[in-house]
Structure 1
């Protein structure tokens, strides 16, 4: 991984805001993949890697400035529980980055009218490995030191994989974010964004105010950006404002489509009401940028069409 400046701030010299990609799993299901598995989309790293590359390519073609890899739920322990060896697990984690890089090169080569897109290697929370919905609750049975130990090997594999930075995402607790900063401190020059899941317009999933999270992370070496993902559209504007009150780092937001997820049944349902929030990414983009966002994309249930609409909107501004 590059030892140079924050790759997000470098990209933002060329674009008014960064367009992040959308949901990987949603599009894989559209392609006919069955993801009803504790490994979720990471299972396809072994079974259908070409489908993952195809989805990354679709997002780059739609205009995304950054792809997030299929390593969210890819852990050595998780793969070994699924019957793989530790060596096979390591290779699949590296493959997640290779697939995104191959897709980027296929699309970007010869396109002089856009900056080179980034590849962000996804680091999902401990709760994603547990596959019990706890990435939306927190309250783990591991302390900060235990979380450092859990994340260390995948973190290091992804740092060495050729990605531009890490996307440490959907974190439900500040403790887990601080564990990531401990690992960043062990690897000078490494860069990662940290995004939280949030339960309302002020608090992350375990109830900690997001302003306190931003304040705690603001000056940690290697933290390239702070933000929120996998969160309802209606909460995004106030969450951005709270982060901006506490730090000057780029703020990234990639909310869900607007539907609500039931982590027990692992199913999606229409939102009960919209709480007055925007109905989609393009509808929310103007207010999110005004609040201080530097990057916008989509999480669960968003598609390449959503990202293309966002990129088209940016181009037309």
Structure 2
């Protein structure tokens, strides 16, 4: 395989800039997402809000938009009254919205501006089974499915995302080692020419949310070339320096880091509390890059301004950006 989209960006620009929180920005637009479908409900109610959020992140500097399918599953839509056909159409629609935002943004740039950044990618978000449960278990891994049950849950959405022509998959906020192994095997078996990043939900800087040793889990995927980057997301920024250090010991894959703001999620009220743990996302994210991370963005409660602060150092301090002749 020689069409790894992540390495293509890294080889030219050294760092891949991810987007930030979708749900946070949708809420700012007045959309109520305190629902079992969470931000996926906006696909039904206010699809234009999703498109605008993607556009805002591209404008801020993101190289990749992650589709709003983290909590959009066939089972989730069916549980809330939609048919299986409706669910499939809504998941497909989400990809089309993301691609439309990407294409409109790209066309808004001058030819000179296009030389300073990669053509943006669309990553199809695959959240864990815990996201479907909508009880906060993506932060605990407190559920028990067989490998076959995980496959039956994840594969239909993966097929829909692929059919809608995503550029890669994003396996994100995965709290269970067992579930992550099933996802990697699905990728290998059903999508052998495609790639995914794998990003864990962690309990602390040494363990996945299910208690698995982080280094052990990461090392396991060295034998999966289709896993094109590996790391963590939606954890406190306080864990990130140690996580990067540990990942560097056990893998040569690009390291992906996109923490939340440091606030605490209440699964009962579906709301965030306490204060964010940073003043300048640009400063801390540059340290992550210096220490070994190659894909950097934000998760819950981060904003386009945070992503713009990444762009300010990532595209100015790196000197191999192409220029027009």
Of 245, 252, 271, which aligns to 1:248? 252
Distance 1:234 1:42 in 2: 29
Shift of 1:14: 2.0
Q: CA deviation at 1:47?
A: 1.4
1:46 aligns with 2:44: yes
Moved over 4 A (4+): none
TM-superposed deviation, 1:270: 1.5
Report how many aligned residue pairs link the two structures.
311
- Who is 1:299 aligned against? 299
Give the Cα separation in 1 of the matches to 2:172 and 2:22.
14
Once residues 226 and 280 of structure 2 are traced to their aligned partners in structure 1, the CA distance between those partners, rounded to angstroms, is 31
Unaligned runs of 5+ in 2: 318-325
1:211 aligns with 2:224: no
Task: Say whether residues 1:83 and 2:86 are aligned partners.
Answer: no
Alignment of 1:183-262 (within 5 A): 183-186=186-189, 187-262=191-266
Give, in whole Å, the separation in 1 of the partners of 2:279 and 2:179.
31
Q: CA deviation at 1:279?
A: 4.6
Structure 1 stretches of 5 or more lacking a match?
A: none
TM-score by length of 1: 0.94
Local SS of the residue matching 2:198: strand
Structure 2 residue 314 is the aligned partner of structure 1 residue 314: yes
1:112 is aligned, of 71, 96, 114, to 114
Distance in 1 (CA, whole Å) between partners of 2:151 and 2:251 is 24
For 1:79-109, what per-residue CA distance to the aligned partner results, in whole angstroms no more than 9, with x for missing partners? 1111111111111111111111111111112
1:135 aligns with 2:138: yes
Residue 98 of structure 2 is aligned with which of 90, 97, 100?
100
What TM-score, normalized by structure 2, do the two folds share? 0.92
Residue 288 (structure 2) aligns with: 288
1:38 partner SS: coil
Q: Could you tell me whether the CA contact under 8 Å between 1:67 and 1:100 is conserved in 2?
A: yes
CA offsets per residue over residues 162-211 of structure 1, 9 Å max, x none? 11001110000111110101101212112111101112111111111211
